[in-house]
A and B are shown apart, each in its own frame.
Chain A
Amino acid sequence: MGQSILVVGGGMSGVSAALEAAEAGYDVVLVEKNPYLGGRVAQLHQYFPKLCPPYCGLEINFKRIKSNPRIKLYTMSEVTGIEGEPGNYKVTINQMPRYVNERCTVCGKCGEAVEATIPNAFDYGLGEIKAAYLPHELAYPYRYVIDPSIVETEDGAKAKEACPYDAVVLDDAPKETIEEAGAIVWAAGWSPYDASKVEYYNFNSSPDIITNVQMERLAAAGGPTGGKIVKLSNGEAPKKVAFIQCAGSRDVNHLPFCSTICCLASLKQATYVREQLKDAEVTIYFIDIRAMDRNEDFYTKVKADEKISFVKSKIGLIEPGENGMLVLEGENTTTGERFKAEHDLVVLATGMQPNTDLSKIPADMVYDEYGFVQNAEGIFGAGTVRRPGEVHVSVQDGTSAALKAIQVVAGR
């Protein structure tokens, strides 16, 4: 078999594209920026509407990758250059050092030995982890990472000394590799819109104002609170939880489009709260609830819970109130009343900003006004770089991109 297919991004779309192409008999190079695969799906507590854990599906995919010799995996790597044309690309891959080699058994001794901590990126900055760490419990590849900040410090030496398997490599360095490929699938995913940009929500003013992605980590067993939904200001259980929809979405000053998933994410997270905290009240503030096709049933189900109420209002202001409460101001557009409502935990449902909006593909590509990429002759977008959407759409899109890539390389 001739040319390989290069897939950028090891999240749901990229993993799907890589597996579909490899299992159809093509060689695949999979390039992932993080030290682990699974992308944002790996950080979710549960899927909507079935409320099942994403790890079932992810583990099956990882097993398929592990047992498929056609897939060559680069983690902690980014594509910095693409040259050539369809059927003949030369792709520059920049790999950052992990400082830990394949001898690592995840015994954890290096983590115990070092003292320095870094913000936990996997938990979206909620809490800290040791600077020698496993990104998360079910990480694939299952291997530790050492943060570059400690490599030249005493902590770096301690980590190396603590390792019984000689797996710590302190002189590891960035590597530049050039891979040849006939077609490229760009599945670089999305980033949560920066909530602090919506200045009237005063996101940084209170630890009890969090984003929807942070809420996933709060609810997840592997998260910073061991899965307990608490107010981060004092560790107590919240009594009145607010979800603010379209926080920076459908807004010409922020993300002008609808990300399609935030309504469902908040409905789902409302069930997390209600399952754990029997007395907690939940209010969802919305412009419109957008629950399409089968998800409408989920909306109906959540709406039936009398402790979950829906208020048609885009919140216009969040300010600290008395006794650690947060005061939300809005105009109820059903009744016409302007109101102030107190809550002790506020979740901002921020949208999906395509990563192609934040960092462009190093090739001549066409983007729409929001930064979503359009397919070129030999380079295909997959998943949320093409349009915002839920996980199963990303899987389908990965498969579709794999087929387009195969059509370029087949027979060459």
Chain B
Amino acid sequence: MATKAYDKSFREEVYQNVDSGEDVKLCMQCGVCGITCPLRGEMTHGPRQLWSLIRAGKRDEVMNSPDIMLCTSCYSCKVRCPRGVKVIDVMHGLAHYALEQGIVPRKETSKFGKAFWDSIYKTGRVDETEVPMRYTLMAGPIHGIFNMLEMMDIGRALLAHKRMKFKIGPGLPPSKKIKGMKGLKKMLDKAKAMSPGKEG
């Protein structure tokens, strides 16, 4: 029978470069994480399969899996994992590592991350109007406007409940900065320098 050896290099790469990457070794392939995930309908692989692919050396499949950026950090899987694998940490670790390697596993998440980061970096707060506006416009002006129209009902409701301020466009009017923006920027710069991944 012909056999094919697993490529061990990728798993070593994960153990060494990904946050909590060595936790993958703990997995006993029971499958509870994939079923616990509230986004299980959206996930292509789910954590268990990703761990299995890491062990099997499937670098491209893992690094391009949208799942690693789909994780919303609800922590259900981590709470239930019978082996105590830090599932969320590894998922985010993989996403960071992929970005660092110039791979964007899920464009939407990456864009949203950028809009989120920009808002904090510029004003010190997450502006509930600014962030979604910038995010939707990243798809291009035409697509952006269509996307925004799709969200109109939600926007109206948010306005009615004073959960969102009215803006004509991004930065119109500009969001208010927090006090001590200088200090926050310093902290963010330092955090960014320490973090293995880039924003997003």
Whether the pair B28, A287 counts as a contact (CB closer than 8 A) is: yes
B110 within 8 A of A: no
Could you tell me which B residues sit within 8 Å of A by CB distance?
A: 28-32, 34-36, 40, 46, 48-49, 79-84
Q: How many angstroms from the CA of A330 to the CA of B34 in the assembled complex?
A: 8
User: What A residues does B29 contact at CB under 8 A?
Assistant: 287, 333
A331 within 8 A of B: yes
A245 closest partner in B (C-beta): B30
Whether the pair A329, B49 counts as a contact (CB closer than 8 A) is: no
Whether the pair B83, A314 counts as a contact (CB closer than 8 A) is: no
B35, B40, B48, B82: which contacts A253 (Cβ < 8 A)? B82
Could you tell me which A residues sit within 8 Å of B by CB distance?
A: 200, 246, 250-254, 287, 313-317, 329-333, 336, 338
User: What B residues does A314 contact at CB under 8 A?
Assistant: 30-32, 82
Known: A200-B36, A331-B46. A316 touches B31 (CB 8 A): yes
B34, B49, B83, B84: which contacts A316 (Cβ < 8 A)? B34
B35 closest partner in A (C-beta): A316
User: What B residues does A251 contact at CB under 8 A?
Assistant: 82
Q: How many angstroms from the CA of A250 to the CA of B82 in the assembled complex?
A: 7
B48, B81, B82: which contacts A331 (Cβ < 8 A)? B48
Interface centre among B32, B36, B48, B81 (most CB of A within 10 A): B32
A246, A250, A338: which contacts B40 (Cβ < 8 A)? A338
Known: A252-B84, A253-B82. A333 touches B35 (CB 8 A): no
- The 15 listed contacts between A and B (C-beta, < 8 Å) are A246-B82, A250-B28, A252-B82, A252-B83, A253-B80, A287-B30, A314-B82, A315-B35, A316-B31, A330-B35, A331-B32, A331-B34, A331-B35, A333-B29, A338-B34
User: What A residues does B32 contact at CB under 8 A?
Assistant: 314, 316, 331
User: What A residues does B49 contact at CB under 8 A?
Assistant: 336
Q: How many angstroms from the CA of A331 to the CA of B29 in the assembled complex?
A: 10
User: What B residues does A338 contact at CB under 8 A?
Assistant: 34-35, 40, 46
Given contacts A252-B82, A287-B30, 14 further A-B contacts (CB under 8 A): A200-B36, A246-B30, A250-B28, A252-B81, A252-B84, A254-B82, A287-B29, A314-B30, A315-B35, A316-B32, A330-B35, A331-B48, A333-B30, A336-B49
Question: Whole-angstrom distance from the CB of A74 to the nearest CB of chain B?
Answer: 40
User: What B residues does A252 contact at CB under 8 A?
Assistant: 81-84
User: What B residues does A287 contact at CB under 8 A?
Assistant: 28-30
Q: How many angstroms from the CA of A254 to the CA of B32 in the assembled complex?
A: 14
Interface centre among A251, A253, A287, A316 (most CB of B within 10 A): A316
B45 closest partner in A (C-beta): A336
A253, A254, A333: which contacts B31 (Cβ < 8 A)? A333
